[in-house]
Amino acid sequence: MPSTDVVPTPLQVPIDLGDRSYDILIGAGLLDDPASYEGLPTSGHALIVTNETVAPLYLASLEQGLKRRHRQVHTVVLPDGEAHKNWVTLQRIFDGLLAAGCDRKTVLYALGGGVVGDMTGFAAACFMRGVSFVQLPTTLLSQVDSSVGGKTGINHPLGKNMVGAFHQPLRVLCDLSVLRTLPARELSAGLAEVIKYGPIADMAFFEWIETRIDALRALDLQALAHAVQRSCEIKAAVVSSDERESGLRAILNFGHTFGHAIEAGMGYGAWLHGEAVGCGMVMAARLSQAVGLVDAAFVDRVKRLVERAGLPVVAPVLDPGRNAERYLDLMRVDKKAEAGEIRFVLIDGPGRAVLRPVPDAVVADVIARSCQPA
């Protein structure tokens, strides 16, 4: 059963971006607490964007609460899932904004997981050339990763998140209470993004996760609070140094180059994003070993923790006839690729990451080994 402990006062993680700075608040019961919204604009219009899964759980109470701050509160309910993160679904947000007569002072509220957050942020970046939005992430994955840092966008059939914009939110509210309605598979998917912060930046945190993984999967609030806080602290430090991913920020994509290929190759939604990233981290660790940066013991340690989190560690075969070539073709569309050369986030010793190219033959060998059960 989940812990009955509560996080006594909201934890706060600042994102330092000059005039675009904002706070991440982490705690229990934040969505329904008026104090969570203090200091945010009190405009005439607000638009809540959510999805069909989250709406029955939290939309009514949020809508009621926002009516204390906005004269008119409108809603757009989207279909759920990565398969709907596209132009057609994005257009529904613009339709809602225009039908309601929203203006430049309108504030958008993204109530949902990473798909809702990414699309709401992209809509906010585009509508009237930019309006404000607030992130209200309802999945662990979005709380520790996608809601933080201002990367917004939609998928293209040839590549994940290839159409988008940088647009920072006014605030991120990570309400740990809502994680209790999260399916176990979604919770595991979120743990992939928690785990990634250890190998790239903080092995002490990685060790902490190893000792607390069962508590995290059991929704212990104290463990979740620390996991979300430390994840956000690491991401905040990286984003503050490299807001637009010109260098350092790319390390946050550990496991994502392989993971995005898995998602695109299997069809968006076949595997959850976190499932693909978890498997992708094992593949990236193996690639790091193949080029001499880490040893087999480190790779096995990453693999064991990913597996304990309830995530897949055997990569899918995307094309039985030319599997490695299919992976490589998809990875050449990755945003970190330059002139068709794939650059991978590799572990340059535990707790350190580096971005570098690797010969196709080495990558192909890692793919072949990763698609076979150990």
Coil, strand, or helix at residue 6?
coil
Residue 117 among known ligand-binding residues: yes
Q: How far apart are the first and last CA of the chain?
A: 33
Spatial strand order in the sheet of 132-137:
11-15, 22-27, 171-175, 132-137, 107-112, 45-51, 72-78
Q: Which of 45, 226, 230, 260 is the catalytic position?
A: 260
DSSP label at 148? Answer: S
CA distance 150 to 162: 15
**Measured between alpha carbons, how far is residue 347 from residues 28, 171, 186, 302, 351 in Å?**
34, 32, 26, 11, 7
CA distance 236 to 234: 5
Residue 82 among known ligand-binding residues: yes
Residue 273 among known ligand-binding residues: yes
Q: Is 70 tagged catalytic?
A: no
Q: Is 129 tagged catalytic?
A: yes
Q: Which of 63, 186, 193, 275 is the catalytic position?
A: 193
Residue 202 among known ligand-binding residues: no
Q: Which of 45, 74, 151, 171 is the catalytic position?
A: 151
Q: Is 193 tagged catalytic?
A: yes
Interacting residues of 361 by C-beta distance below 8 A, sequence separation 6+: none
Residue 139 among known ligand-binding residues: yes
Q: Which of 51, 155, 161, 253 is the catalytic position?
A: 253
Residue 114 among known ligand-binding residues: yes
Q: Which of 273, 303, 336, 343 is the catalytic position?
A: 273
Residue 116 among known ligand-binding residues: yes
Q: Write out the two tokens for 219.
A: 């929704």
Q: Which of 256, 286, 326, 336 is the catalytic position?
A: 256
Residue 296 among known ligand-binding residues: no
Q: Is 212 tagged catalytic?
A: no
Residue 29 among known ligand-binding residues: no
Residue 153 among known ligand-binding residues: no
Q: Which of 249, 286, 301, 326 is the catalytic position?
A: 249
Side-chain-side CA neighbours of residue 221 (13 Å): 20
Residue 269 among known ligand-binding residues: no
Residue 45 among known ligand-binding residues: no
Q: Is 253 tagged catalytic?
A: yes
Q: Is 245 tagged catalytic?
A: yes
Interacting residues of 362 by C-beta distance below 8 A, sequence separation 6+: 287, 290, 291
**How many degrees, rounded to 5, is the angle at CA 229 between CA 224 and CA 234?**
130
Active site positions, annotated:
129, 151, 193, 235, 245, 249, 253, 256, 260, 273
Which residues belong to the annotated binding site for NAD(+)? Answer: 80-85, 114-118, 138-139, 151, 160
Which residues belong to the annotated binding site for Zn(2+)? Answer: 193, 256, 273
Which residues belong to the annotated binding site? Answer: 80-85, 114-118, 138-139, 151, 160, 193, 256, 273
